[in-house]
Structure 1
């Protein structure tokens, strides 16, 4: 691998990137186990693709914000390191595909020159913090949630409590009770409230989609703003210690709560509060408004005359809204499948810069939003978008379908989710043009049951699957789901699985559903209300003729966008963690964690040093348990099983009565310098003890 210079001002970021480069070299030399290396690169935004030998790189954009300079940087990097495409995701990230692993450190270094990170965009970490894209400009919001999203992102980035959890953590912040960030499907969700003149949030916890969707529990109807981060920190400590680590299918926070019960979860969280870094955390709210950011507001006034066309009027009515700041407007931009080329991006940047705010937001439905557009500039913005084929109306309507990348690049995808999107959108525009204004119905598609396209909470959802014909041939299929969606204020609905149909009949499914709805719904009846009135069995019977496999044609065995006969080719997914099962690797990790412990302590990051020391105990103990072929699935089990297999049997002697008593001092003490000093010394001594024991067993 060629060496490179990072030329970065932040030494922490520079160390991170150089460490990735060093670990890639060690992996290439066979000195790092493949599973360990996978975990490491995922935490740095580098994700394996369906295609061998190339990577998807996920760029982490807190609350979806890009300046024009950042957007251009990403576009240029996509040209240099990828294929010139930017994929906008449902978590407000940007992904670029087909990147060489060896070039990822220099790619990251270039991004960081404009304050863009890959760190913890993937892996078993706190992922991107998403937020309503109208935050700060919405007439219905109690206050701007942007500073809170930003503070949460920064607080947990590189935080030792959430670097190696059993699974990922997703956080969303909605800016009003409309819940446009979909808090109810997240591990942590926040909705702003004002009580007795004080700012705070309704907090929901433990939501998630995937193959087994669960709606979030309400943790607090109102939690003061300075308690939000302390609560999350305590809850993450519980998840880190008690969360599943072996079975990826049971490793999300929702499963931990399901397993132990919500009341027990609350009890464990409360028990952690003595040891958290901050009992309160004041979130700075200055520096985020349009008047506080230099060069934020537009400086140019266009002279374009508004066209007198129905097309323009439809776009204006469905894609433009008045902000709470008088005289300014927000503009939604539809992006098919979330894919926008680097050339288009640069052209838009050149023509939009100065005419809108220097703040472009990626939306959770894979589009863009332009902010602070002066009324005089709206016709000009329309003409610019139209010239780039980006002036389609209905940005928040049924016509704008959300879809994950599916079989284009994802290892887990079963059948196509992108090519069919254009076919379904054509059904809306050609057969149901009046629905361009319908913001009630949301259609979402995923390539598999894992719900990256959020099909599990769609009014009309599809996920990739397969079927077998009478002659045992496999054909691509779609599972149809109905009745999901957002209720509001942290409450949602999970869609019902209704029926499975051949993929090529997806457009017909949509026609049948919408015709039935238009013909039989009462005046003003929402789709979900109509679904509830008729019931799941009614819709199963309605769609059963479309699912008939006795009328299959040869074309049904070829997926959308494909030319060859369909075959299920599912790889190994990387959204979840991997178990490190090599004793030597775990002991090496323990030494590395001890180094992090000492560095943090020397830098006066006392709480961080204590948590790193805790990780030393757990990692070293797990290594010795694995050496005895004792498999454990949580950190808490590591602690208990170590007592059972080593301390109780006298194989290892420690000063305390039990290993549990030694390690869980972390819960019983404030993060003081005195406690850190003694706890770190005990961790160092235990690691030495573990290494000596391992050496004796190897020699024996």
Structure 2
């Protein structure tokens, strides 16, 4: 690998990027284990693709905000390092595909020139902090959640607590009780609220904890109807510390926080959170919002000339793609991006358009679309005209015809069936046969290529999950049909029921059957009311003929978007940063964490120093346990097992138990004195453990 110069102003970011370059070189030289290296690159947004030898790079865009300059920068990077296609995810990120691993450090450096990061976009980290795309313009919002989402993102980026947890952690901020950031399916969800105290309006959030999708969806618990804004970051930090310490680390499919909350019980979990507060660097963390709100201005550009008068197509588009704002005289324009994929010849003109005639930014949405904000009402025909020129003027924004789908078998290792292929076909069915649904915003279709639910299929009114099924000895692509999910608002939601499985090729007909029956038998009810009225068995019977595997034909063996017969080809998933730790690697990592702790100590970051030294001790103890074949499944488990295997029997003399030493972390405030004492103790224990291991190897 040839080294490059980053020329970045931020030394922390520069060090991060150069570290990635150095570790890629070590990996190429065979000095870092492949599985361990996977964990390292995932935490830097570099994700293995289904196709060998190339990577998907996930660009982390907090709450989906992208300025014109940032969008141009992403286009430049995609043009130089990728294939020119940008993919919007259901977490408001952008992904680019087919990137060479060796070029990811310089790609990252290019992005950082406009304050765009890859850090912790994948892996066992705090993932992108999402928020309502309408935050700041929503007529129903009590206040703009943008500065609170931004502060949360920045506080936990590179935070030592959450860079290497047992599994990923997701947060969202909803601007109003409509909960369009879907708090109920997040590890932590926040819904903006206000209340009056002594005649003063106080800002806060309704807080939900422990939600998630995947193969075992769990509805988050509402733990408080109102937490003041200055408590949000301390509370979140305490939650993350408990998750990091007690969360599962061995069984990947049980490692999300929803399982920890379920196992401990919500009261026990919250009691641990409360006890952790003493160790936090801040008891309150006021979030600056006045300056952000005061700096906001509305654009007032000169009116451009239209090429021609608007026609019927414009009127139809306006019905679904123009949204009201709370700012008088301004609206937002919804840009429907089919399957979240758009291209450089669309992105660059879009960046210019919003810079000149709107607020100079767009927000990526949870439904893989784009929202242009602060458009003066009289400019709406012009925006339609310009969007039409670049192929971004499809009507039906956020309607039934606007289907959400993950990449599935196109690029993902875990994809079982083509989610994008069937999504294209279903959109055709709606456009050609059910155009009235292009104005229906009360029905949602979502599709995932596997059970991990990246397309959020199990919270949709109509969901499809990619899978396979057998017809005799032939394996064919199939779709699990799920019905009855949906967002009910204010932190309440429902998950869809699994109804039946149909061959993928019959997916369009399954949709026709469902929509025809809905129109015939709903009796004025919405879809959820209709589903509850008919019941799960009714829909199983309704689709029974389509699910009959004995009637499949040769055509059913070819998945949508493919020409060859289907083959099951599922690789190793990287959604959760799969890891295989080696003893030497763990000891090296322990030392690296201790060195990070030393640096933090020198810089006066007492809490960070303490946590780095804590993590270093855990890694060193885990290395010794691994060396004698002892399996562990959480940090807390490592601490207790190390005492049992090494301290209580006198193999290693620490002067007291390992638990007593380590757990000082949550028994003291993070003062300079304690940070220095904890660092000194950690280095002494590490030296003892390293010496023990060396003697063990020599023996």
TM-score normalised by L of structure 2: 0.98
Question: Does structure 1 retain, via aligned residues, the 8 Å contact 2:310–2:381?
Answer: no
Secondary structure at the residue paired with 1:654?
coil
Question: Does structure 2 retain, via aligned residues, the 8 Å contact 1:298–1:373?
Answer: no
In structure 2, the residue matched to 1:527 is 527
Secondary structure at the residue paired with 1:27?
helix
**Are positions 1:698 and 2:672 aligned together?**
no
Secondary structure at the residue paired with 1:481?
strand
Q: Offset at 1:387?
A: 1.7
Question: Does structure 2 retain, via aligned residues, the 8 Å contact 1:304–1:377?
Answer: no
Q: Offset at 1:589?
A: 0.6
In structure 2, the residue matched to 1:3 is 3
After TM superposition, the structure 1 = structure 2 runs for residues 55-70 of structure 1, keeping only pairs within 5 Å, are 55-70=55-70
CA distance in 2, matches of 1:684, 1:109: 34
CA distance in 1, matches of 2:76, 2:594: 39
CA distance in 1, matches of 2:15, 2:277: 31
Secondary structure at the residue paired with 1:36?
helix
Query: Any stretches of 5+ residues in structure 1 without a counterpart?
Result: none
Secondary structure at the residue paired with 2:295?
coil
CA distance in 2, matches of 1:98, 1:148: 34
**Are positions 1:349 and 2:351 aligned together?**
yes
In structure 2, the residue matched to 1:217 is 221
In structure 2, the residue matched to 1:118 is 118
In structure 2, the residue matched to 1:683 is 682
**Are positions 1:515 and 2:516 aligned together?**
yes
Q: Offset at 1:473?
A: 0.3
Question: Does structure 2 retain, via aligned residues, the 8 Å contact 1:245–1:579?
Answer: no
Q: Offset at 1:293?
A: 5.2
Deviations 1:406-454 (A, max 9, x none): 0000000000000211110111111111111111110000001110000
Q: Offset at 1:286?
A: 3.1
Secondary structure at the residue paired with 1:353?
helix
Question: Does structure 1 retain, via aligned residues, the 8 Å contact 2:138–2:326?
Answer: yes
TM-score normalised by L of structure 1: 0.98
Residue 422 and residue 298 in structure 1: after superposition, are their counterparts in 2 closer, same or farther (change >3 A)?
farther
In structure 2, the residue matched to 1:282 is 286
Moved more, 302-311 or 9-18: 302-311
Deviations 1:354-388 (A, max 9, x none): 11110111111111010110112110100111122
CA distance in 1, matches of 2:387, 2:444: 24
Deviations 1:301-322 (A, max 9, x none): 2232884533211211111022
CA distance in 1, matches of 2:506, 2:230: 52
CA distance in 1, matches of 2:275, 2:134: 37
Number of corresponding residues: 695
Q: Offset at 1:103?
A: 0.2
Q: Offset at 1:259?
A: 1.2
In structure 1, the residue matched to 2:295 is 292
Secondary structure at the residue paired with 1:441?
coil
CA distance in 2, matches of 1:273, 1:506: 51
Question: Does structure 2 retain, via aligned residues, the 8 Å contact 1:319–1:393?
Answer: yes
Deviations 1:267-318 (A, max 9, x none): 11111011011110000103434x6158x73534223288453321121111
CA distance in 1, matches of 2:463, 2:432: 20
Query: Any stretches of 5+ residues in structure 2 without a counterpart?
Result: none
Secondary structure at the residue paired with 1:56?
strand
CA distance in 1, matches of 2:211, 2:685: 38
Residue 699 and residue 308 in structure 1: after superposition, are their counterparts in 2 closer, same or farther (change >3 A)?
closer
In structure 2, the residue matched to 1:668 is 667
In structure 1, the residue matched to 2:631 is 631
Question: Does structure 1 retain, via aligned residues, the 8 Å contact 2:457–2:464?
Answer: yes
In structure 1, the residue matched to 2:486 is 485
In structure 2, the residue matched to 1:244 is 248
After TM superposition, the structure 1 = structure 2 runs for residues 176-575 of structure 1, keeping only pairs within 5 Å, are 176-196=176-196, 197-289=201-293, 292=295, 297=299, 299-304=301-306, 307-470=309-472, 472-523=473-524, 525-575=525-575
CA distance in 2, matches of 1:642, 1:305: 75
Deviations 1:449-476 (A, max 9, x none): 1100000100000010001102x10000
Secondary structure at the residue paired with 1:354?
helix
After superposition, the CA RMSD in angstroms is: 1.2
Question: Does structure 2 retain, via aligned residues, the 8 Å contact 1:590–1:620?
Answer: yes
CA distance in 2, matches of 1:660, 1:349: 55
Question: Does structure 1 retain, via aligned residues, the 8 Å contact 2:231–2:284?
Answer: yes
In structure 1, the residue matched to 2:589 is 589
Secondary structure at the residue paired with 2:374?
strand
Secondary structure at the residue paired with 1:22?
helix
Q: Offset at 1:352?
A: 4.1
CA distance in 2, matches of 1:32, 1:355: 50
Question: Does structure 1 retain, via aligned residues, the 8 Å contact 2:345–2:390?
Answer: no
**Are positions 1:30 and 2:34 aligned together?**
no
